[in-house]
Each structure stands twice: as structure tokens, then as C-alpha cells.
């Protein structure tokens, strides 16, 4: 049975460890992430972006894949199914499909007031359904068309305003970006993170763009109140590398080497290995029933 992410993240915040929120992109991805969580006995947040949901056939398909796998794989640790970077409309679609947690990304709305208005509404609706809610203050940067933006730095006072709406966890821009980090990246702004934590108290905070941040910085961020670390690119990179190696070694030319089950197996196994490594770095191993 899928659960919302509130309790597991509150436990992480109190225990000063982080929980990985790993994006799923297809059946193999979901299987791999769940396998890693069960083997490590780590609570798990499986999340899906709007684009990945569309690719897989819609939110209902994603829900059915993850929910059925949890049952058929006999997963014993808590698993939440979370919408990643959902717009206002997507939040309703995901909730209707059975997602147990949603992120409303109002950081790119025309005004902060719209972010507040929509977040307040969604918190009220979601909580009546037992669904957890993540909100965001300060847009997360990333690379688009060869141009890398550092992302907005969240205003601690705005973070408090959103936190006071009753959200269950909060994403805040502290210099983190999506995708691979450029060589000239300046690092996380821990002073901003500390100021945000002072404003929001024991509310779990979220670090987007977890791929490529040095381990020491991730661990320091966790010690300062980060409880959820989003991971997507990292797993895509290891999947791609393992698949590339399969073809470079000409394994596709062996007997039935073209079978997609054989083609996808190395990448799937690479996701399991990397996910387990990250769970160990974040400190969530063995925390399945806290």
C-alpha cells in the first residue's frame, strides 16, 4: 500500500538524515528503485514529472505501475508516489490518479501571491484526501539551450509564508540546479539554508537538483535541515553508460542480444547499484520503519 510522504520526512528531519526522492521514467526504472529500497530497507519516495508521466501514458499508468509493483514485489518499506514539479492542473490529475503526494511548483507563477493562493487551495484539498504537499519558493536553475542559470535564491520570509499554509515539506532555491552542474558552479548557499530553517522550524526542506552536488555538501545540507533530496539525472547517466557499454561490447550481436529485456538489463542493474549508494550517502539505510 502506498503512503504519503509526511511521516517519513518528519522522521528524517528529526533523525537528521535524508530521503532520496528518485524519479521514475518507465517500468524498469520503477522496478530498480523499489529493489534498491527493499534491499537497503530504506523508506522511498518514487516521483514522476509531468513529462515522464506523459511519456508513460498518463498519471493513471504511472500509479498502476508503481502500486502494482509494490504489491507484487512484496515491498515491505514505506513507499510514497509523488508528483514532481507539477503545475496547478497536474496536481489535480495526479491526485485523481491515486498519487499519495504532490508538488505544486508555484515558483514560476506571475506573482508570489498566486503561488500562495494556489498552494493554500491545494493543501486544503490534498489533506482531506490524506495526500502530502510540497511547495516551492525560489526557482531551481538548470541548463537550457546551452545557457545555465544559477536559479533563484529563496527569500526566507517567503518560505515562512508558504510554510504557514500547512505544506508538508518545502523546496527552496539555495543555488542548486537541475541537470549536470557546470565547472564554475559556486556551490550551495548554506547561510541562506540556515536562515530559511530558522524561519520554518521543523518543517522538512527539499533539495532539488541532487545530481552532482559533492557528497560533503549534501551531508552538510542534511545537517542543516534538508530531508528530501531529488535524484533523476544521476540515474539517467548510469543507465545510459551501462546501455552504451552493452552495445560497445557488441552483446546485441549475440544470440537474441536484441531482446529488449537483455538490452535494458545492464541499465536497470546500474540504477539499483547507484540508488543504493545514494541511500547510504543520505543516511536512510535501515530507516524503513521509524
Is 105 an active-site residue? Answer: no
Query: What does the block give as the cell for 225?
Result: 535541515
Among 217, 153, 227, which Cα is nearest to 187's?
A: 217
Query: What does the block give as the cell for 18?
Result: 535524508
Residue 172: how many CA atoms within 13 Å on its side-chain side?
A: 34
Q: How far apart are CA 112 and CA 140, in angstroms?
A: 15
Q: How far apart are CA 141 and CA 280, in angstroms?
A: 26
Give the other-Cβ count within 10 Å of 108's Cβ: 13
Helices (H), the chain: 6-15, 27-40, 50-56, 59-72, 88-97, 112-128, 156-163, 190-200, 215-223, 233-248, 260-282
Give catalytic residues, as residue numbers: 84
Amino acid at each position: 500500500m502506498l503512503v504519503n510522504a509526511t511521516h517519513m520526512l518528519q522522521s528524517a528531519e528529526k533523525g537528521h538524515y535524508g530521503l532520496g526522492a528518485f524519479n521514475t521514467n518507465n517500468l524498469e526504472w520503477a522496478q530498480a528503485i523499489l529493489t534498491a529500497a527493499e534491499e537497503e530497507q530504506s523508506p522511498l519516495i518514487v516521483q514522476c514529472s509531468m513529462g515522464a508521466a506523459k511519456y508513460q501514458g498518463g498519471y493513471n499508468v504511472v500509479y498502476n505501475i508503481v502500486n502494482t509493483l509494490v504489491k507484487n514485489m512484496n515491498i515491505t518499506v514505506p513507499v510514497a508516489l509523488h508528483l514532481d514539479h507539477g503545475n496547478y492542473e497536474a496536481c489535480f490529475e495526479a491526485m485523481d490518479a491515486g498519487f499519495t503526494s504532490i508538488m505544486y511548483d508555484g515558483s514560476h507563477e506571475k506573482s508570489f501571491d498566486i503561488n500562495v493562493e494556489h498552494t493554500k487551495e491545494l493543501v486544503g484539498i490534498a489533506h482531506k484526501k490524506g495526500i502530502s504537499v510540497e511547495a516551492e519558493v525560489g526557482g531551481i536553475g538548470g541548463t537550457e539551450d546551452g545557457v545555465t542559470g544559477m536559479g533563484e535564491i529563496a527569500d526566507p520570509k517567503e518560505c515562512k509564508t508558504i510554510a504557514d499554509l500547512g505544506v508538508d515539506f518545502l523546496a527552496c532555491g539555495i543555488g542548486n540546479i537541475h541537470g549536470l552542474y557546470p565547472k564554475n558552479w559556486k556551490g550551495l548557499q548554506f547561510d541562506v539554508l540556515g536562515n530559511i530553517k530558522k524561519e520554518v522550524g521543523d518543517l522538512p526542506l527539499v533539495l532539488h537538483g541532487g545530481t552532482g552536488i559533492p557528497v560533503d555538501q549534501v551531508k552538510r545540507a542534511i545537517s542543516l535541515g534538508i530531508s528530501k533530496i531529488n535524484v533523476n539525472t544521476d540515474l539517467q547517466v548510469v543507465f545510459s553508460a551501462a546501455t552504451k557499454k552493452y552495445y560497445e561490447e557488441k552483446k546485441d550481436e549475440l544470440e537474441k542480444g536484441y531482446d529488449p529485456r537483455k538490452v535494458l538489463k545492464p541499465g536497470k542493474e546500474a540504477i539499483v547499484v547507484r540508488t543504493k549508494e545514494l541511500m547510504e550517502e543520505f543516511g536512510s539505510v535501515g530507516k524503513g520503519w521509524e
